[in-house]
Amino acid sequence: MSRYLEAKEIYAKWGIDTDKAIEALKSVPIALHCWQGDDVRGFDQKVDALSGGIQTTGNYPGRARTPEELMADIDMVLKLCPGTKKLNLHACYAIFDDENGGWVDRDKIEPKHFKKWVDFCKERGLGCDFNPTFFSHPKCDPLTLSSPNEETRKFWIEHGKACIRISQYLAEELGQECVMNIWTGDGFKDIPADRMGPRVRYKESIDEILSEPFDFNKVKPCVESKVFGIGVEAYTVGSAEFSLSYAAANKDKCIPLMDNGHYHPTEVVSDKIPALLAFFPEVALHVTRPIRWDSDHVVLLDDETKEICKEIVRCGGLEGSVKIALDYFDASINRVSAWTVGFRNVQKALLMALLTPNAELTDIQNKDNWTELMVKQEELKTLPFGDVWAEYCKVCGAPVDGEWFAAVKEYETEILKERN
Ligand code: RNT
Ligand code: ZN
């Protein structure tokens, strides 16, 4: 008997249908962030370093320098990962060329600057999420949507509106909803004199951005909160309370987004998912790995990743109420590998969650039988998950563990090493 069939029998004894779990996961879209491939640089500015409260560290060779290089790298990742992928673009990845009139600033970008990305997605059957880019730009003063300078604020509002129009275009062209996430690094290094002013302006700016017409069935604007960033240690305008309150007060046009690197170290997003789903029909996630701060390390198959995925599955999030995206950027290791490891790990954690007898465990909890709950939850950890994972990879036409890294190494030698 094959290892998969043996595993299937073992899981069946726990009341779990492994075929069904595989089937359920296959079609769940997970957004792959384009920015792991080039250290969040994009193509619209000639800047060397990121700014605006986020940072990449490392200079491993092979960073994508052009749209063509980035697309080639993404193609490699798509081949190495099982499951349904969506692309996740930032506005700074606009492609300017002679055909579309050349470079324009962020307040003037149009759908045509993303036509090549649309073609890329269409050829691969991908949907696409989108993000306005409120960082790494001379018009960050350093504030953007919360700036007291009306000219600055207006510029960034126009950028946000342009991004709504682009998101609508992406959703219509690709026939899948486009999650459009608003995150700014607005905040201060030191104790401010006025904490409310920037927040009131931020609120008014988002109101103006979302006054741009769009179809909420197709475009899902989100607001992402953050606790602090490098250089923004004392005060963050878009704090947790601000962002969640904004989303709650604007449920007809906006959803909350939680990034699991954006909370105090003992808070966990896994616990926040069911809390938010008790109030919001839809929530969005950035899955990342914070080490001591929002360090954006590659997502591992660690306890919190597993717990987040358990909550997504238990709360019915795979049916569309939870929008899953990856958000990390490690420039110190092979970027194709970084992308692949993180994406495969989220898939693994979701499959593990699907291979859990959630209804039975809930029943045990409701009977207040904590002894049995502990025994069962611990024993589940050593079921032959790897054999079901291997089957899932095969069903999806993706390489199993142990069979993809050689291709990355070859790609590095042949393609990435040529870049400097
Ligand atoms: C930054 C936020 C934000 C960015 C991306 C690039 O702390 O997490 O989501 O990482 O938009
Ligand atoms: Zn994020």
125: left (phi over 0), alpha (psi -120 to 50) or beta: left
Q: For residue 90, which ligand has an atom nearest its CA?
A: 1
Closest residue (by CA) to atom 1 of ligand 1? 54
Among 226, 310, 323, 348, the one annotated catalytic: 226
3-state DSSP: the chain helix, strand, coil percent, rounded to 5?
A: 45, 15, 40
In whole angstroms, give the CA distance from residue 169 to residue 166.
5
- Would the pLDDT of 59 be above 90? yes
Quote the CA–CA distance of 225 and 228 in Å, as a whole number.
9
- What's the mean pLDDT in 104-115? 98
Residue 216, pLDDT above cutoff 90: yes
Who lines ligand 1 at CB under 6 A?
35, 40, 54, 131, 183, 224, 226, 259, 286, 294, 327
Ligand 2 center from residue 254 Cα (angstroms)? 16
303 is catalytic: no
Q: What pLDDT, in 10s, does the model give residues 274-333?
A: 999 999 999 999 999 999 999 999 999 999 999 999 999 999 999 999 999 999 999 999
pLDDT bucket at 257, cuts 50 / 70 / 90: very high
Average pLDDT over residues 210-227: 98
Tokens standing for residue 301: 């198959």
Contact 87, 32 (CB under 8 A): yes
Q: What is the pLDDT of residue 335?
A: 98
The ligand 1 atom at the shortest distance from the C-alpha of residue 261 is 8
Could you say which ligand is closest to the alpha carbon of residue 296? 1
Distance CA 254, CA 94 (A): 24
Q: Tell me, what's the pLDDT at 46?
A: 82
User: Could you tell me the distance, in angstroms and rounded to a whole number, from the CA of residue 319 to the centre of ligand 1?
Assistant: 25
Q: Is the pLDDT of residue 420 over 90?
A: no
Q: Binning pLDDT at 50, 70 and 90, where does residue 54 land?
A: confident
Probe target for ligand 1 pocket from 286, 288, 328, 329, with the most ligand atoms within 8 Å of CB: 286
359 alpha carbon to ligand 2 midpoint, in Å? 32
Second CATH level (architecture) for the domain 28-354: Alpha-Beta Barrel (3.20)
Q: How far is CA 72 from the centre of its chain?
A: 20
Please pick, among 158, 224, 282, 412, the residue that the annotation labels catalytic: 224
Which residue, by CA, sits nearest to atom 3 of ligand 1?
183
Compute the CA torsion angle 314, 179, 330, 115 (nearest 10 deg).
140
User: Do you find a cis peptide bond into 142, omega within 30 degrees of 0?
Assistant: yes
Residue 1 is predicted with a pLDDT of: 84
Kindly give the interhelix angle for 18-26 and 335-354, rounded to the nearest 10 degrees. 130
The tokens of 203 are what? 């609120």
> In testing the pocket of ligand 1, which one of 327, 330, 339 has its CB within 8 Å of the most ligand atoms?
327
The model scores a pTM over 0.95: yes
Query: Which of ligand 1's atoms lies nearest the C-alpha of 226?
Result: 7
What's the pLDDT band for 50 if we cut at 50, 70, 90? confident
- Cβ-Cβ contacts under 8 Å for 200 (sequence gap 6 or more): none
Could you confirm whether 224 is annotated as catalytic? Answer: yes
Q: What is the pLDDT of residues 32-49, one digit of tens each?
A: 999 999 999 999 998 766
Q: Other CB atoms closer than 10 Å to residue 315's CB: what's the count?
A: 18
**What pLDDT is stored for residue 254 in this prediction?**
98
Rounded CA-CA distance 29/104 in Å is 32
Dist CA 38 CA 138 (whole Å) = 20
CA dist., res. 134 & res. 186, Å (int)? 9
**Dist. CA 70–CA 190, nearest whole Å:** 37
- Specify whether the CB–CB gap between 292 and 319 falls below 8 A: no
Q: How far is the CA of 391 from the centre of ligand 2 (A)?
A: 31
Which run of H or of E encompasses 5? helix 3-13
Ligand 1 pocket test target in 87, 93, 224 with most atoms within 8 Å of CB: 224
Is 327 among the catalytic positions? yes
| Active-site residue flag, 183 | yes
Q: Give domain limits for the chain.
A: 28-354
The Cα 124–Cα 85 span in angstroms is: 10
Known catalytic membership, residue 259: yes
Is residue 286 annotated as part of the catalytic site, yes or no?
A: yes
Q: What pLDDT shows up at residue 204? A: 98
Query: Which ligand neighbours the alpha carbon of 129 most closely?
Result: 1
Residue 409 pLDDT: 98
Length of the chain: 420
Neighbours of 373 (CB within 10 A): 17
- pLDDT exceeds cutoff 80 at 51: no
Q: Determine contact, residues 44/101, Cβ cutoff 8 Å.
A: no
Give me the chain's average pLDDT, please: 97
- Residue whose structure tokens are 């790609």: 411
End-to-end CA distance of the chain, in Å?
A: 50
Q: How far is the centre of ligand 2, averaged over its atoms, from the C-alpha of 191 (Å)?
A: 24
330 has catalytic annotation: no
Indicate if the pLDDT at residue 121 is higher than 90: yes
CA-to-CA separations, 265 to 224, 228, 269, in angstroms, rounded: 17, 12, 11
Q: Where are the beta strands (DSSP E) in 303-381?
A: 322-326
- Map residue 186 onto helix, strand or coil: coil
